[in-house]
Amino acid sequence: MPVKFPGFRSRRDALPERLWTRCPSCSEQLFNKALEKTLHVCPSCGHHFRLGSADRLAQLLDPATFEERDAGLSSQDPLGFVDQKPYPDRVAAAKLATGLPDAAVWGFGAIEGQRVAIVVMDFGFMGGSMGAVVGEKVARAAEGALAARVPLVIVSASGGARMQEGTLALMQLAKTMAALERLRAAHVPYVSVMSDPTTGGVFASYAAMGDVNLAEPNALIGFAGARVGAGTIGQELPPGFQRSEFLFHHGFLDRVVARADLRRELAALLRYLAPRPTPEAARG
**Mind listing the pLDDT tens digit for each residue in 141-175?**
999 999 999 999 999 999 999 999 999 999 999 99
Question: What total of structural domains would you count in the chain?
Answer: 2
Q: Are residues 67 and 139 in the same domain?
A: yes
Residue of 250, 251, 259, 264 lying closest to 217 (CA atoms): 259
- Asked if residue 120 is part of any domain, the answer here is yes
Q: Is the pLDDT confidence value at 38 over 70? A: yes
Q: Are residues 76 and 197 in the same domain?
A: yes
Q: What is the mean pLDDT of the chain?
A: 91
pLDDT at 235: 78
Q: Are residues 188 and 217 in the same domain?
A: yes
Q: Is the pLDDT confidence value at 77 over 50? A: yes
Q: Is the pLDDT confidence value at 1 over 90? A: no
For residues 9 and 16, is the Cβ–Cβ distance under 8 A? no
Mean pLDDT, range 207-222, rounded to an integer: 97
Q: Are residues 28 and 134 in the same domain?
A: no
Q: Are residues 88 and 197 in the same domain?
A: yes
Q: Which residue has the higher pLDDT, 257 or 224?
A: 257
φ/ψ of 75, rounded to 5, equals -70, 140
**Mind listing the pLDDT tens digit for each residue in 54-75?**
999 999 999 999 999 999 999 9
How many residues make up the chain in this entry?
A: 284
pLDDT grade, residue 281 (50/70/90)?
very low
Q: Are residues 129 and 218 in the same domain?
A: yes
Cα–Cα distance for residue pair 172/167, rounded to 1 Å: 9
Q: What percent of the chain has pLDDT over 70?
A: 87
- Asked if residue 74 is part of any domain, the answer here is yes
Mean pLDDT, range 182-210, rounded to an integer: 97
pLDDT at 238: 81
Q: Which residue has the higher pLDDT, 225 or 67?
A: 67
- Residue 196, SS3 per DSSP: strand
For residues 60 and 74, is the Cβ–Cβ distance under 8 A? no
Mean pLDDT, range 246-265, rounded to an integer: 97
Q: Are residues 67 and 105 in the same domain?
A: yes
For residues 12 and 32, is the Cβ–Cβ distance under 8 A? no
- Asked if residue 8 is part of any domain, the answer here is no
Whole domain around residue 76: which residue ranges? 50-273
Q: Is the pLDDT confidence value at 119 over 70? A: yes
Percentage helix, strand, coil, to 5, in the chain? Answer: 40, 20, 40
13: part of which helix (H) or strand (E)? helix 11-14
Q: Is the pLDDT confidence value at 10 over 90? A: no
Mean pLDDT, range 113-126, rounded to an integer: 98
Q: Are residues 37 and 74 in the same domain?
A: no
- Asked if residue 6 is part of any domain, the answer here is no
Q: Are residues 97 and 198 in the same domain?
A: yes
Q: Are residues 174 and 215 in the same domain?
A: yes
CATH number at residue 84: 3.90.226.10
Mean pLDDT, range 176-191, rounded to an integer: 97
Sorted by sequence, the CB contacts under 8 Å of residue 176 that are 6+ apart come out as 135, 138, 139, 142, 205, 206
pLDDT grade, residue 18 (50/70/90)?
confident
pLDDT at 2: 59
Mean pLDDT, range 75-89, rounded to an integer: 93
Q: Are residues 87 and 100 in the same domain?
A: yes
pLDDT grade, residue 16 (50/70/90)?
low
- Residue 184, SS3 per DSSP: helix
